[in-house]
Amino acid sequence: MSTPPISTDWARAYSGCRVVGTLRDKLADFQVFEVFDRVFSGHGEHLYILVEKHNLNTKDVQSALANHYGVSLVDVSYAGLKDKRSIAQQWFSIRLPKTAQRPTDKHFSVLEETKHDRKLRPGDHQGNRFQIRIRNVSESANLAPDALQQPLPNYFGPQRFGYQGNNLHRALDWVSQSTPRIKRGVRALYMSVLRSLVFNEVLASRIRSDTWRTALNGDIVLEHLPTGPLWGRGRLPTSSDALVIEQSVQRQNKAVCDTLEWVGLKQERRALVMRASGVAIQQEDDAIELRFSLPKGSYATVALNEYFDVKEARA
């Protein structure tokens, strides 16, 4: 099988001039707060802790918690992955911890703890609240007054594809070489990356034809929003105009789609549109601070990309 060259510079929804600036100049410039409204029982075999992590992957925290509490990795759960280069707060659950002592670590701390009778599962949170500062912005920068308040494309963000797209390139190499014998964890990563690629290609096609905000004939609608495919085995549930677009992307990415079907993933859907809420923007001197919330699974960097041309400061 061969795969076509892939660009991850997908179509933008809005064509206005973007504000130039620097992202993550300081760690505190990118803050994430998990929105989690579960009512805890206060008892049960699962310890729940709210962790604030600094410049650390969610999975690194998971591993450290497993070591501290004397449990296996599978007994430490979280609702979603958070950016490494950030200050982020999120919940973890630990099944039957062997110690009641809180961990001490220079990269993360425990803010709250309680107990519950059910483990934390992926997607249990409602979304994420962001506080982001973009620096080195010109004082004459003209940010669109409706920035972040219009419908936004729900692309998978660059984090999904790895640094400089390396995970995507490796996944495509794996597809083209037809070498299925790889570690289970690596294969799961590649499947996630490839699914995200196909979805983004469908969304980009809809943006180019200006059909992404509202449902087309034959669309599958989720919570009043049009959706795109998370590719897998089975027939596409769309029809008519929506099906034509998705089949066109399938033909252009046949090797990728065939691989996703071969490994047994089932068709799923994801909203093409995301909406930010609680938007507040403040401009001061050479910086702009933004506060907003997004649904779970949506990327702040994607929202920013519509209005900002940012360069990431070196770690």
Question: Looking at the annotation, which residues are catalytic?
Answer: 83
Q: Which residues contact 241 (CB under 8 A, 6 or more apart)?
A: 211, 216, 217, 218
d(CA 287, CA 27): 15
Q: Helix 240-252 vs helix 184-208: angle between axes, to the nearest 10 degrees?
A: 130
Burial of residue 280 (number of CB atoms within 10 Å: 0-12, 13-18, 19+): exposed
Q: How far apart are CA 292 and CA 268, in angstroms?
A: 27
Residue 161 near residue 201, CB atoms below 8 Å: no
* Residue indicated by tokens 């790895």: 162
- Rounded alpha-carbon distances, angstroms, from residue 243 to 65, 83, 248, 298: 45, 34, 8, 24
How many of the other CB atoms lie within 10 Å of CB of 273?
A: 23
